[in-house]
Structure 1
Amino acid sequence: MSEDSPLIRSLRTAVEAAPADVPLRLHLADLLLQAGQADAAVAEAAVALQHAPGDGEARALMARAMGAPAPAPTPSADPPAPDARTGFDWRAAADQVGDVLPPRFVEAPLTADGSGDPEDAAAWDVDTPGRIRLADVGGMREVKERLEAAFLAPMRNPELRKLYGKSLRGGLLLYGPPGCGKTFIARAVAGELGAGFLSVSVNDVLDMWIGNSERNMHEIFRTARRQAPCVVFLDELDALGAKRSRTQHSGLRNTVNQLLTELDGIDSAANEGVFVLAATNAPWDVDIALRRPGRLDRTLLVLPPDAPARESILRYHLSERPVENVDLGKLVKATDGLSGADLAHLCESAAESALLDSARTGTVRMIGMRDLLAAARQTVPSTEPWFASARNVAMYANEGGTYDDLITYLKKKRKL
């Protein structure tokens, strides 16, 4: 019979209407085999075997379609396994129809810990202990001294800590205007401790599905405990730990509750080797429960870089650019009040001015003081809006002296 036989077409239609009818499908397979369409016959026989795995007629038809009897097995590391009753090589048959029929069972890959949930595998990356130290932070002597006294010295001296009964519970909250190096300082602290660094932002935690945000928070701290010593850096804490009284979304409130639980630890030794640092531009928007003793109970104000810090930052951003006759002392005085981000933008603007001038004239020239001072005059301190908001908080909401450091700075700069 030919491929276009009316009988074959009729049987195909009947099989499509009754796909589980094994005898009907085998009759179609037999006609296909007689018509010389062995591949199509194999496919139909394989489907019949899916519905009736023990059907002898289906096995025999499959064997005929594939040219059985199968050759005698040859010695190998993985010999075929023929059926004891028919001598049919099922493994060879499966290889033949593998590209026609999908596998009946598909198993999801397991994670490294065998949990079977591949989405959680290596979800949180912990940076290895870095080479950045506090000595790499230019200037900021007062910040370094506060860090040493409140955070680093007790950790470096376990014997003295035990003698004086100093607890390692609690974390450190860095606050101040944006662009002043809070993240860099946190990395430097991790470097001083020789600890891993796990940076967490609100985008890493919040999830649209109920319960996933709390689960993410738990997984972050579980990862840190597993890879201790580790510094967990909570960036933008005002978003991650916002005041629950002002939060309408239950998911955000539950996330804050989970963070409080993780900071407390399941028991006194749960967070051993886990050091928590957090940063925010708006500490007044952080839930008050996060700042009670034993949690983020130490606060450190990170201000715009002082003169030594500005010199270090400017030197870094100009070190690989073509400059000449740059008076860093004069430039440092002209950039008082600028943040680290402002200083980077200043150097970029000066380089852009020299580049455009060189393009217009056709003569390449170096970056000079004229370019840098012009960029300094055009750069408005990005910290001013922050100080405008912080001034009101310092004046009218300084309960318990939380913002005494800020008030001292504002008075020194005559901004209060």
Structure 2
Amino acid sequence: MSIRNHKLFYKDPYLKTFETKILKQQQDKKGDVYITLEKTAFYPTGGGQPHDIGTLNGVKVLNVEEVDGEIRHYIERALPHSDDKVVGVIDWERRFDHMQQHTGQHILSAAFAQLYDIHTVGFHLGKDIVTIDLDISELTEEIVGKAEKLANDMIMENRPIVTKWIEYDDLVNYPIRKTPSVKENIRLVIIDEFDYNGCGGTHPSATGEVGAIKVLNWERQRKKIRLYFVCGNRVIAQFDQKQKVLVELTGLLNHPEGELSEAVKRSLENVKKLEKELLESNEKILQYEANDLLANSTIQNDTVVIIKTFSDRSIQELQKLAKMIAEQEKRSLIFLLSENDNRYQLVCGRGSTNKMDMRTLMQESLSLINGKGGGNKTLAQGGGTASLTKKEFLRNVINIIAKQIKSEEIRYSIKK
């Protein structure tokens, strides 16, 4: 039997302050201090609803959990041992928010069930957003719109919400939306002629207190639909947030609210166009750079050697540059180095008639700076800490290359 159905738990969701006796105060296995009480108004986490917070004799209640048939109130610090009674104060703003969200979930789930026989199979009440998982693989704007409207109609009618304790055998007398998992002491939350649902959570006395329900979005989760929504004061918070964004956008785009969508589309199209032009310009600049490197290259034993150093160049740019050179000069052997934030980025490549293995060259080069990399026989890349100066590092790399192409002298340039 759930503790929520037990005499230790007050049934009045509007109870903000209460006085009771302390049963025990101790630490759990993690060393966290908790108190159990003769009676409590604090709701423990469960049924998709988060726990209450508040104070006990002025000490903050951080968490409330049901463990082994008792409600544990985890507190910020231990109470004096002389305390045998406590005054509990519920954080009402949080409690009422949870009442609005939880009841809103009941109403929205019932709307989907009544209109389209779509049933809720999961529920989560988050800090900012509430979600339900619907037992359906596809959802349309029309279905969501009609369910949301029916839910808000029920709120506007301000129908009473009552709770009733029944036994399992009595369930046949009610149009239960979902069969409860417990077999005894079942607590029904009833919205007359609309929803009958077994639940141990906190709810207001009438649907009007939910305020409003607004669906925000939905997405497919495996073969279900996860629906995101807010209720009550969270609707106002969402509206305020979105309104601030809209006002800012109308100023930035210099268009009225009704034309923002088209203005954003045009802006995005312009951005894509500019990005394409920038990419084309960068490609041209890299091609000029490749041509310049080839024009200033040296030929050693029928190998066109290009060794170049840079600062703050991305490895992607170095790769493109190496590929451009290799496509133009089949005999080429390219070694490009860039120093970025005290790290070296390396790229080595070769033309199609050059038989030197770039993986071997990269591995031997990276071993000098304890680096890591990869690639294939024609193009390899990697990086490591700049533990050697550029000149020291390149002197060692050139010796490696010279042995491979059997050359005594190789020229290179260092570019800041």
Alignment TM-score > 0.5, same fold: no
Structure with bigger RCO (C-alpha 8 Å, 6+ apart): 1
TM-score normalised by L of structure 1: 0.20
Flag the structure with higher strand content: 2
TM-score normalised by L of structure 2: 0.20
